[in-house]
Amino acid sequence: MVVVSVVLMLFFMFYMLYSNQILNSEQADSNIVTMRVASEVQYAIDYVYLAGGGTVYNTTILTSGTNVTIGNGVVEADSVYGTAYLPLLTDDVNATNISAGNYVISNDNGAILVD
């Protein structure tokens, strides 16, 4: 009986450790995807802002289940396990929510337009 209880206890210990590792890897993957999406949006907007008036940048943003909002000079990306806040060089951006798709980002004399 003691052997059976030791085997069951070992099984449950390994099960708990293994399932926790899977959860941690899912969390890490979600955090990486969230940061990548926020970085893509930040890079595109800052690039157009720094390049000056009349600049146009075509990009495809894949949000991968991440909600992206822009406001008060910050790109905020939220996913199941992670959140990323990245500052923008300007807060004059006409977009508030970004979803997956193709975007044309342009600089209209300092005002950033996301279409």
Q: What is the pLDDT along the chain (115 residues), one digit of tens a residue?
A: 777 787 888 877 777 666 666 667 778 888 888 999 999 999 999 999 999 888 999 988 888 788 999 988 999 999 888 899 999 999 899 988 888 889 999 999 889 999 8
CA of 108: how far to CAs of 93, 99, 105, in Å? 10, 22, 10
Compute the distance between CA of residue 91 and CA of residue 78 in angstroms, rounded to an integer: 19
Using DSSP, state whether 56 is helix, strand or coil: strand
